[in-house]
Amino acid sequence: MIQLDNVSVSYGRGERKFCAVKDVSLHVPKSSIQGIIGFSGAGKSTLLRSINLLERPSAGRILIDGTDLTNLNPAQLREARHNIGMIFQHFNLVNNLTVRKNVELALKFAGVSRAFRKEKARQALEIVDLAGKENAYPGQLSGGQKQRVAIARALAPQPQILLCDEPTSAVDPRTTGSILQYLKDINTEFGITTVLVTHEMNVVKALADEIAILEGGALVEQVSTKDIRRKNFIPTSDIGAYLLDDSIRLNPTVELAASEPVQSVEELHHV
């Protein structure tokens, strides 16, 4: 279970201080899928990254199964993060490591023995149907396969929570369907609580149980996909209205891209 209590996140200091997430409270029940949507710059990624403290809130609490992550010391936080997997828009694979070594990364950082790592990586790659690709390098894979490796990497430590930052934005529309299916199957089979940031209305409706709408860093609306399907949803925000149209993608400029380098050492440790 994830509980965000009055979370705010700021960037910069003094006169340059900018509040990217403003006083957001959100409850994500165990084993559910929470979508987060909003226009570009609304604070979606910042909010998602605050859940594992990749962005530390300037105010509020992040409770995971009742433990407030903002109160933990660095060693405790590292331990807590083993329970939280993360996948990124541009996969963040390490290009000079094989698929298997990429999947083993989080386990290696956790000090897991080589034999156990290998077995966990094998199991995780099986889940995403990449059992034959252990020795391939990321450069030899399609975008969809790279994202499946990233999913396997996030799953290998058997987390209870999976954070997904635009997981289908950098793959073609046909591949999007298969990535969504893997995420859905993983949620159903392992009961992993999933938080999904996306621009794509059809993606969030296909996957999420609940959808939170952010505008200017604030949570302006929350709706269940069940209510949308039953036509029980009367939107009060612009984006809420877009939810009724499957063809809309809030940020059409996202490029179908090859993988980008890992963005920070902390991120690399948190895969």
Ligand X SMILES: Nc1ncnc2c1ncn2[C@@H]1O[C@H](COP(=O)(O)OP(=O)(O)OP(=O)(O)O)[C@@H](O)[C@H]1O
19 vs 141 by CB, closer to ligand X? 19
CB of 268 to ligand X, least distance (A): 17
Contact stretch for ligand X (CB under 6 A) within 37-45, 125-133, 142-150, 229-237: 37-45
Burial class (CB in 10 A: 0-12, 13-18, 19+), 130: buried
Encode the chain in three state secondary structure: CEEEEEEEEEECCHHHCEEEEEEEEEEECCCCEEEEECCCCCCHHHHHHHHCCCCCCCEEEEEECCEEHHHCCHHHHHHHHCCEEEECCCCCCCCCCCHHHHHHHHHHHCCCCHHHHHHHHHHHHHHCCCHHHCCCCHHHCCHHHHHHHHHHHHHCCCCCEEEEECCCCCCCHHHHHHHHHHHHHHHHHHCCEEEEECCEHHHHHHHCCEEEEEECCEEEEEEEHHHHHCCCCCCCCHHHHHCCCCCCECCCCCCCCCCCCCCCHHHHHCC
Region of 43-51, 68-76, 231-239, 257-265 interacting with ligand X (CB under 6 A): 43-51
Instruction: Give whichever of 106 and 243 is closer to ligand X, judged by the CB atom.
Output: 243
Please tell me the count of residues contacting ligand X according to CB under 6 A.
13
Q: Which is nearer to ligand X, 13 or 230 (CB)?
A: 13
Q: Least distance in Å: CB of 16 to ligand X? A: 9
8-27 binders of ligand X (CB under 6 A): 11-12, 18, 20
Question: Minimal distance in Å, beta carbon 71 to ligand X?
Answer: 24
Q: Which of 83, 123, 178, 251 binds ligand X (CB under 6 A)?
A: 251
Nearest approach, Cβ of 7 to ligand X (angstroms)?
13
Residue 113 has φ and ψ, to the nearest 5°, of: -65, 155
41 binds ligand X (CB under 6 A): yes
Could you tell me the smallest distance in angstroms from the CB atom of residue 32 to ligand X? 21
Q: Of the two residues 41 and 139, which places its CB atom closer to ligand X in the complex?
A: 41
132: left (phi over 0), alpha (psi -120 to 50) or beta: alpha
CB of 41 to ligand X, least distance (A): 4
Nearer to ligand X, 6 or 40 (CB): 40
Stretch that binds ligand X, among 39-47, 71-79, 99-107, 235-243 (CB under 6 A): 39-47
- Select from 4, 26, 43, 212 the one that contacts ligand X (CB under 6 A): 43
Nearest-approach distance from CB 9 to ligand X, in angstroms = 8
Q: Considering the rule CB under 6 A, would residue 116 count as an interface residue with ligand X?
A: no
The whole-angstrom separation of Cα 125 and Cα 114 is 16
Residues at the contact surface with ligand X, assessed by CB under 6 A: 11-12, 18, 20, 38, 40-46, 251
